[in-house]
Amino acid sequence: MKGTSLVVSVVLFVAVAVLYVLHFTGNGASEGTPIKAAAGTGGDLKIAYIKADSVLLNYTLSQDLHDEFTKQQEAYTTEYGTKRQSFEKEAAAFQEKLQRGGFLTEQRAVQERDRLLGKEQEIQKLDQELSTKLAKIQQDNNNKILDNMMDYLDRYNEKAGYDYILNGANVLVGPEVNNITADVLKALNEEYEATKTE
């Protein structure tokens, strides 16, 4: 199984998904600097930004889900590895027995070969199933993190009243007062810790 590359791909996918959603939604929080709106739009815009990648890396829920995912991945890798090793030993024993003429009949050798081919197909199927399960777990984790973040930003913005909250990855220059990352991260972690003690 390609465990390491799968984890890297999944983390990148989560980051891109969150960045995409935050970039194209108008949710958020904190004290932002009003910006003059275009003529005829009726006033100043209140804008803030959040560094979603920082939230992902430091959100306790994200870390806990990653730890659980890693344990599950290790368990799946061990299960697959054990079955693969067993098959390889049987295949090597078959090859050795075949070369020294250890089968009484050719038909018996063919039966053993067919049994081993079936076992190899089962192992390949197991690899696919485990990879699919891991991908599903990771997708569910990504959705949970994103849902929690967006739910919090919606509630936070009811009080803060921002017109736009931008993804900080796209903000090249901007006043730090508009950066609400620390506030959002602190609140998300507090809410998550509260659910763990219930």
Q: Which domains does the chain have, with CATH numbers?
A: 3-197 (3.30.910.20)
Q: What pLDDT does residue 175 have?
A: 80
The rounded distance, in Å, linking the Cα atoms of 112 and 110 is 5
SS3 164: strand
Token pair 């659910």 in the structure block, residue = 195
- Indicate the DSSP class of residue 37: P
Low-confidence ranges of the chain (pLDDT < 70): 1-43, 169-170
DSSP bridge pairs for 33: 47
pTM of the complete model: 0.68
